[in-house]
Structure 1
Amino acid sequence: MIDFKKYAKFSRHAPRYTSYPTAIEFKELAPEDIYEDLKSNKPISLYFHLPFCKSACYFCGCNVIYTSKADKRRRYIDYLKKELKLWSEYLDTNRLVRQLHFGGGTPTFFTPQELEEIFELIYSYFKNFESDAEISVEIDPRFFDENHMKVLKKYGVNRISFGVQDFNEQTQKAVNRIQPFDLTKKAVDIARNYGINSINIDLIYGLPYQNLETFKNTLKLVKELNPDRLAVFNYAHVPWLKKGMRKIDETTLPAPEEKLKIFKYTIDFFENNGYKMIGMDHFAKEDDELFKAIEKGELHRNFQGYTTKGGADLIGIGLTSISETDKAYFQNYKDLKTYEKAIDEEKLPIFRGVKLNEEDLIRKYVIMEMMANFSFDIQRFEEKFGINFFEKFEEEIKELEEFIKEGLVEITPKKINVSKTGSLLIRNIVLPFDEYFKKMKNQKVFSKTI
């Protein structure tokens, strides 16, 4: 019997938002430090952060501005225009666009007319989209109607992700997000009626008052919505970083053992209902391209989650957005006034980031492959980097012995394979390869892996 409690370590891995799950520290980085990284012919993936919400969901770890004022949205659009103009001076906007994603905040907190203006703005700069480009939007069903959907359909949106988290009323009250099932179903039905054939539902386990029995009911209701994909995230309680989380009574949070019961049941539930587990926190129907990619060992992960659209530079636009190129990560300012000030000074609003060295790239590759595919092709690694894997990672492999004895990991001369149970602990399993975590593990900047 595996003692999961001992694996509830602290880690800075943020499973939804980071493609390199590591404790690597972003440092001050001037825009000119990354200009060379933008000179590429690779396809690009565009991320637009629309950071406004009407009220706080206490579990939220995103960078959000709470407001009801229309003038703030109007001003933000004006600055997106200015920022895009700046990007066009350093980035070849004729590059092939592989993805366009709107995140938040609540993108549909903007009016349909405002969303239309944003789409027109983007398409005035970027005209070279792949024929099967993924155009996706995150939606809070509480702020969504048919007029929004008409605009999304008009501008080519083909994937929608609806935030649900949990349908239990007691949990919803505790996290300040009242969202009845009927309201969510209405939103999903609108999307289906407009031909959206890829719908994702976000769930979170580890929230107040959750237990296995309450979450079973949420899963039954989610099944009625018949999503094509699901993301089931582990709640990261970091009240020292996110003030809103301080409003959650920690005594109401489920213990690590209960969280593992919930997630194990969730895996069995979805796999018994026509879905397959993808990576460490996603599920997809068997005919979904994500499932096909994992069968080939070609699944990728970026700041937007799991994707088949690998091999692209991610360009983040808007407040707090993070970008990723082959050898760098960089982030826009988090404070609205500072963001606006940089743009007014005709500078890209980048304030920090990290340039990756060869060691970073090697370890990033190992961690990414294992977290995306639950397996690692040693021969392919050695061909790519010209390095003997077992000599390079002799100490790290020793640290995996505990998982090998538990039957969670198998290592052969050609592959590393993670078992189905081991997939629940994939964040722990990849930790030995994270050299930055080893340097910082005693600092209280991490969330629990379980």
Structure 2
Amino acid sequence: MAIDNSQHLVFDHALIRRYDQPGPRYTSYPTAPHFGEDFDEKALQAALNDSNASGRPLSLYFHIPFCEHLCFYCACTKVVTRHHEWGTPYVAHLDQEMALTREHIDGRRPVDQLHFGGGTPTFLRRGDIAFLLDSIGKHFHLLPDDQGEYGIEIDPRALEPGTLRLLRDFGFNRISIGVQDLDAAVQKAVHREQSFALTASIIDEARQLGFRSVSLDLIYGLPLQTPESFAQTLEAVLTLRPDRLSVFNYAHLPDRFPPQKRILDTDIPSPDMKLRILAESIATLQQAGYLYIGMDHFALPDDELAIAQREGSLYRNFQGYSTHAGTDLLAFGMSAIAMVGTTYSQTIKDLDTWGATLDSGHLPVERGLRLSAEDLLRRHIITRLICDFSLDFNALNRQFSLEFHQHFAAILPALKAMSNDGLLQINAHALTVTPQGRLLIRHICMAFDAYLAQKTVHYSRVI
């Protein structure tokens, strides 16, 4: 169902304070904490083999874990080192992983989407990147002429001259840059010092080379931030006119992510101050012409994400919002998560064990999950809510051969309560998230999550 993006996001302080509780980010459903070790290499091989019958296009994700510097806020799976030579055996192992995967995947299936994430993908030296790109082209059928969505995360502080041109010549057409905050005191407090001039120069080079999309990441709630300082950061960032902007909430979970212990609790903005930063940022972005896509993401009206959302074809996977649904996601590198058919699988998180497993001729599967029919139903609902802010019951009933109000009778009271509070509207035919409910979409999705009560997981707050 296409959505009407003419409605602006409405920031309702009272509603947000009431519903701002911990919850999943729903890059998948079921979420990763519910994956099990009973899903092994043979299970992945079977899923890969079965997927060929569908002829679905492929999406490829490569996790490059290395970082030169430790950012104190970071919750990513990473290896902090200045030894750039470690990239050489890593990309050799990626080639092995692709070769083992290709034994089970039809190589004629087109690659609609390609993403390098991390860590810091541009930590790799240019020669290692060239080797990896050649390996990808050897193993998979890549699309010509910018027909695919090929993106990479860039750290301007770790980018060799000529690397952007190498990536563009290969077919990459999107870059994502972590900015987080431009205030010098905040940058020092989180151990990520990156000048505006450096960021601007990389964006300028990318646009000159013909990259068609630039996305920037900001984080609100970092130590020493104030509404005034973050407003200055946002004002400077908007002069760069990025196609997409992500404004993430900093989740301070030092017991779960040890690097965060270096951030002083007393330096973190109060909850009320964080809400003020977010409210003012949303107002500024909407005034500048950006549309709220959902889940922290904003885009210009002519961006492909905004177009896909208007057309009802927006999708979300482990890399975030995407215009390419209906693909099998293959994932390479330590800790990477794949989505093949009706399965999820995650590779081994330890670098040495991951490499040793590949050297022994085995796919390095650590855990995974086979989705049940009920999982698939609830995943569909959560995905459409996150992407469309609406749910057509008649279409859902036809697709899954059910009657919504009967099947979900147990959660109707919760939906009714949210309707009474103004988060959503629900009737016999549809559920529609209101402009003031869109920021709380994670909370609405939680009503459909059958796993929340089964396992104790520490999630960040939804706002």
TM-score (norm 2): 0.92
Q: Structure 1 residues 345 and 248 mapped into 2: Cα distance closer, same or farther (>3 Å)?
A: same
Alignment counterpart, residue 30 of structure 1, candidates 40, 57, 63: 40
Residue matched to 2:4: none
Residues 1:346 and 2:357 aligned together: no
Residue matched to 2:458: 445
Residue matched to 2:391: 376
Measured in 2, the distance between the counterparts of 1:225 and 1:21 equals: 37
Please state whether the residue corresponding to 1:353 is helix, strand or coil.
Answer: strand
Residue matched to 2:292: 277
Q: Deviations over 1:184-240 (max 9, x none)?
A: 111111111111121100111121122322211111011011111111222222222
Alignment counterpart, residue 132 of structure 2, candidates 118, 121, 124: 118
Whether the 8 Å CA contact 2:416–2:426 is kept in 1: the answer is no
Measured in 1, the distance between the counterparts of 2:152 and 2:385 equals: 27
Measured in 2, the distance between the counterparts of 1:343 and 1:408 equals: 48
Residue matched to 2:3: none
Post-superposition offset of 1:152: 1.0
Measured in 2, the distance between the counterparts of 1:278 and 1:161 equals: 16
Please state whether the residue corresponding to 1:90 is helix, strand or coil.
Answer: coil
Whether the 8 Å CA contact 1:96–1:130 is kept in 2: the answer is no
Q: Deviations over 1:321-356 (max 9, x none)?
A: 100123111000000111012111111011101111
Residue matched to 1:5: 17
Post-superposition offset of 1:145: 4.6
Whether the 8 Å CA contact 2:125–2:160 is kept in 1: the answer is no
Matches within 5 A, 1:216-231: 216-231=231-246
Whether the 8 Å CA contact 2:422–2:434 is kept in 1: the answer is yes
Measured in 2, the distance between the counterparts of 1:396 and 1:210 equals: 39
Measured in 2, the distance between the counterparts of 1:167 and 1:402 equals: 41
**176-185 vs 124-133, greater mean Cα deviation:** 124-133
Post-superposition offset of 1:130: 6.5
Residues 1:165 and 2:177 aligned together: no
Residue matched to 1:241: 256
Residue matched to 1:402: 417
Residue matched to 1:20: 29
Post-superposition offset of 1:33: 1.1
Post-superposition offset of 1:424: 1.1
Please state whether the residue corresponding to 1:142 is helix, strand or coil.
Answer: coil
**353-362 vs 404-413, greater mean Cα deviation:** 404-413
Q: Deviations over 1:10-46 (max 9, x none)?
A: 22x136xx23264751111211012222132211100
Residue matched to 2:171: 156
Post-superposition offset of 1:438: 2.3
Q: Structure 1 residues 397 and 137 mapped into 2: Cα distance closer, same or farther (>3 Å)?
A: same
Measured in 1, the distance between the counterparts of 2:402 and 2:199 equals: 51
Measured in 2, the distance between the counterparts of 1:47 and 1:91 equals: 15
Post-superposition offset of 1:137: 0.6
Alignment counterpart, residue 45 of structure 1, candidates 46, 55, 59: 59
**173-182 vs 23-32, greater mean Cα deviation:** 23-32
Whether the 8 Å CA contact 2:29–2:375 is kept in 1: the answer is no
Residue matched to 2:444: 429
Please state whether the residue corresponding to 1:381 is helix, strand or coil.
Answer: helix
**255-264 vs 305-314, greater mean Cα deviation:** 255-264
Whether the 8 Å CA contact 2:36–2:367 is kept in 1: the answer is yes
Post-superposition offset of 1:267: 2.1
Whether the 8 Å CA contact 1:140–1:162 is kept in 2: the answer is yes
Measured in 1, the distance between the counterparts of 2:101 and 2:224 equals: 45
Post-superposition offset of 1:435: 1.0
**166-175 vs 382-391, greater mean Cα deviation:** 166-175
Whether the 8 Å CA contact 1:23–1:434 is kept in 2: the answer is no
Letter in 2 for 1:283: F
Q: Structure 1 residues 358 and 130 mapped into 2: Cα distance closer, same or farther (>3 Å)?
A: farther
Matches within 5 A, 1:257-268: 257-268=272-283
Q: Deviations over 1:100-131 (max 9, x none)?
A: 11111111111222211110110011124265
Measured in 2, the distance between the counterparts of 1:50 and 1:397 equals: 43
Whether the 8 Å CA contact 2:150–2:171 is kept in 1: the answer is yes
Measured in 2, the distance between the counterparts of 1:140 and 1:106 equals: 6
Q: Deviations over 1:285-308 (max 9, x none)?
A: 111121111112221000111011
Post-superposition offset of 1:390: 0.8
* RMSD of aligned alpha carbons: 1.6
Residue matched to 1:64: 78
Whether the 8 Å CA contact 1:410–1:418 is kept in 2: the answer is yes
Residues 1:331 and 2:346 aligned together: yes
Measured in 1, the distance between the counterparts of 2:30 and 2:315 equals: 13
Whether the 8 Å CA contact 1:94–1:128 is kept in 2: the answer is no
Whether the 8 Å CA contact 1:2–1:406 is kept in 2: the answer is no
**5+ unaligned residues in a row in structure 1: which ranges?**
none
Measured in 2, the distance between the counterparts of 1:163 and 1:50 equals: 15
Whether the 8 Å CA contact 1:108–1:143 is kept in 2: the answer is yes
Please state whether the residue corresponding to 1:60 is helix, strand or coil.
Answer: coil
**5+ unaligned residues in a row in structure 2: which ranges?**
1-12
Q: Structure 1 residues 436 and 302 mapped into 2: Cα distance closer, same or farther (>3 Å)?
A: same
Q: Deviations over 1:136-160 (max 9, x none)?
A: 1100111125411121111011001
Post-superposition offset of 1:444: 4.9
**207-216 vs 61-70, greater mean Cα deviation:** 207-216
Q: Structure 1 residues 21 and 287 mapped into 2: Cα distance closer, same or farther (>3 Å)?
A: farther
Letter in 2 for 1:120: D
Give the number of equivalent residue pairs.
Answer: 445
Q: Structure 1 residues 225 and 83 mapped into 2: Cα distance closer, same or farther (>3 Å)?
A: same
**255-264 vs 294-303, greater mean Cα deviation:** 255-264
Letter in 2 for 1:255: S
Measured in 2, the distance between the counterparts of 1:222 and 1:232 equals: 12
Matches within 5 A, 1:92-111: 92-111=106-125
